[in-house]
Structure 1
Amino acid sequence: MDTLFHGDGQSIKSANEFPQLDFDQQHSLSQGNLVNECQFDHLFNNVTGLSKLSSHLDVNSTPCEVGDDSPVEGDYFDGVFKYLQRMLMEEDDLLDKPCMLQDCLALQAAEKSFYEVLNENQPSSPSRGRPRAGQKRDSIRELVDLRDLLTRCAHAVAIYDNWTANELLKQIRQHSSPYGDPTERLAYCFANALEARLAGMGTTLYSALTTTRASAADILRAYGAYLEICPFQRMSNIFANKSIAKQTSTVTRIHIIDFGILYGFQWPCLIHGISLRPGGPPKLRITGVDLPQPGFRPAERIEETGGRLANYARRFNVPFEFNAVAKRWDTITAEDLAIDEDEMVVVNCLPRDSVMNLIKKINPEMFVHGVLNGTYGAPFFVTRFKEALYHFSSLFDMFEATLPREDQNRSMFEKEVIGREVMNVIACEGTERIERPDSYKQWQVRNQRAGFKQLPLNSEIMREIRAKVKSYYNKDFLIDADGAWMLQGWKGRVIYALSCWKPAGL
Structure 2
Amino acid sequence: MFFFPSSFGGREMMQYTEAASAAVEALYRGRRTSLSLRALYNKSVPLAKSPGQLSSASILENLLVHCAAAIAANDASRAQHCIWVLNNIAPPDGDPAQRLAAAILRALTARHAAAAAATPRAFSAVALAAFLDLTPLHRFGFTAANSAIVDAVQGLPVVHVVDFSTTHCMQMPTLIDALSSRREGPPYFKLTVATVTVLPPPRLAMSYEEIGRRLVDFARTRGVPMEFRALRSNAIDGFQALVEHLRLQQLVCHGEALVVNCQMKLHCVPERCRGEFLREVRRLNPKLVVLVEDDVDLGDGDLVTRLRAALNYLWVHYEASEAVMKRDREHRDWYEAEIYWKIENLLACEGTEKVERLEQKSKWVKRMKAVGFEGISFAEEAIAEVKTVLDEHATGWGMKMEEDGIVLTWKGHNVVFSTVWVPRLKGETSDYSP
SS at match of 1:379: coil
CA distance in 1, matches of 2:198, 2:97: 36
Matched, 1:409 2:331: yes
Matched, 1:498 2:418: yes
TM-superposed deviation, 1:199:
1.8
* 2:85 aligned partner: 171
SS at match of 2:227: strand
Tell me which of the two structures has the higher relative contact order, counting C-alpha pairs closer than 8 angstroms and 6 or more residues apart: 1
* 1:420 aligned partner: 341
* 2:160 aligned partner: 255
What's the C-alpha RMSD, in Å, of the aligned pairs?
Answer: 2.4
Among candidates 312, 317, 323, match of residue 395 of structure 1: 317
* 2:151 aligned partner: 246
Give unpaired runs (5+ residues) of structure 1. 1-133, 295-299
Inter-CA distance 394–379: structure 2 relative to 1 (3 Å threshold): same
CA distance in 1, matches of 2:221, 2:362: 41
TM-superposed deviation, 1:458:
2.0
Deviates more, 1:281-290 or 1:137-146: 137-146
Instruction: List per-residue Cα deviations over 1:84-122 (Å, max 9, x = no partner).
Output: xxxxxxxxxxxxxxxxxxxxxxxxxxxxxxxxxxxxxxx
* 2:227 aligned partner: 321
Conservation of the 8 A alpha-carbon contact between 2:321 and 2:335: no
SS at match of 2:425: coil
CA distance in 2, matches of 1:307, 1:225: 21
Among candidates 257, 261, 268, match of residue 344 of structure 1: 257
SS at match of 2:133: helix
Inter-CA distance 333–226: structure 2 relative to 1 (3 Å threshold): closer
Conservation of the 8 A alpha-carbon contact between 1:375 and 1:384: no
CA distance in 2, matches of 1:173, 1:225: 32
Give the TM-score, by structure 1 length.
Answer: 0.66
CA distance in 2, matches of 1:256, 1:316: 18
Among candidates 447, 460, 463, match of residue 384 of structure 2: 463
SS at match of 1:178: coil
Conservation of the 8 A alpha-carbon contact between 1:367 and 1:501: yes
CA distance in 2, matches of 1:391, 1:465: 23
SS at match of 2:210: helix
SS at match of 1:256: strand
TM-superposed deviation, 1:164:
1.9
Instruction: List per-residue Cα deviations over 1:250-269 (Å, max 9, x = no partner).
Output: 11111111123652001100
* 1:198 aligned partner: 112
Inter-CA distance 215–368: structure 2 relative to 1 (3 Å threshold): closer
SS at match of 2:169: coil
Inter-CA distance 467–144: structure 2 relative to 1 (3 Å threshold): same
Instruction: For 1:150-229, list aligned pairs within 5 A.
Output: 150-201=64-115, 204=116, 206=117, 208-210=118-120, 214-217=121-124, 221=127, 223-229=128-134
TM-superposed deviation, 1:138:
2.0
Conservation of the 8 A alpha-carbon contact between 1:306 and 1:322: yes
TM-superposed deviation, 1:431:
2.1
- 2:333 partner letter: S
Give unpaired runs (5+ residues) of structure 2. 1-25, 35-54, 200-205, 427-434
- 1:147 partner letter: E
* 2:17 aligned partner: none
CA distance in 2, matches of 1:332, 1:505: 28
SS at match of 1:139: coil
Instruction: List per-residue Cα deviations over 1:422-449 (Å, max 9, x = no partner).
Output: 1110111122211000000011111111
Conservation of the 8 A alpha-carbon contact between 1:141 and 1:175: no
CA distance in 1, matches of 2:174, 2:363: 31
TM-superposed deviation, 1:136:
4.2
SS at match of 1:369: strand
* 1:374 aligned partner: 296
SS at match of 2:30: helix
CA distance in 2, matches of 1:261, 1:478: 23
Conservation of the 8 A alpha-carbon contact between 1:262 and 1:305: no
CA distance in 2, matches of 1:431, 1:137: 46
Inter-CA distance 459–280: structure 2 relative to 1 (3 Å threshold): closer
SS at match of 2:159: strand
* 2:37 aligned partner: none
Inter-CA distance 446–276: structure 2 relative to 1 (3 Å threshold): same
Conservation of the 8 A alpha-carbon contact between 2:129 and 2:170: no
For these two proteins, the number of residue pairs brought into alignment is 357
* 1:307 aligned partner: 213
- 1:375 partner letter: D
Among candidates 258, 276, 284, match of residue 181 of structure 2: 276
TM-superposed deviation, 1:406:
5.3
Conservation of the 8 A alpha-carbon contact between 2:325 and 2:331: no
CA distance in 2, matches of 1:147, 1:141: 15
CA distance in 2, matches of 1:137, 1:243: 55
Conservation of the 8 A alpha-carbon contact between 1:457 and 1:484: no
CA distance in 2, matches of 1:138, 1:468: 39
Instruction: List per-residue Cα deviations over 1:269-294 (Å, max 9, x = no partner).
Output: 01111112224211111111111599
Instruction: List per-residue Cα deviations over 1:48-94 (Å, max 9, x = no partner).
Output: xxxxxxxxxxxxxxxxxxxxxxxxxxxxxxxxxxxxxxxxxxxxxxx
Inter-CA distance 315–274: structure 2 relative to 1 (3 Å threshold): same
Conservation of the 8 A alpha-carbon contact between 2:143 and 2:385: no
- 2:302 partner letter: F
Conservation of the 8 A alpha-carbon contact between 1:489 and 1:496: yes
Matched, 1:442 2:363: yes
Conservation of the 8 A alpha-carbon contact between 2:163 and 2:193: yes
SS at match of 1:232: coil
- 1:269 partner letter: T
Conservation of the 8 A alpha-carbon contact between 1:178 and 1:411: no
CA distance in 2, matches of 1:504, 1:209: 42
* 1:17 aligned partner: none
Instruction: For 1:16-165, list aligned pairs within 5 A.
Output: 136-139=28-31, 144-145=56-57, 146-165=60-79
Conservation of the 8 A alpha-carbon contact between 1:252 and 1:282: yes
SS at match of 1:186: helix
* 1:480 aligned partner: 400
* 1:42 aligned partner: none
- Sequence identity percentage: 27
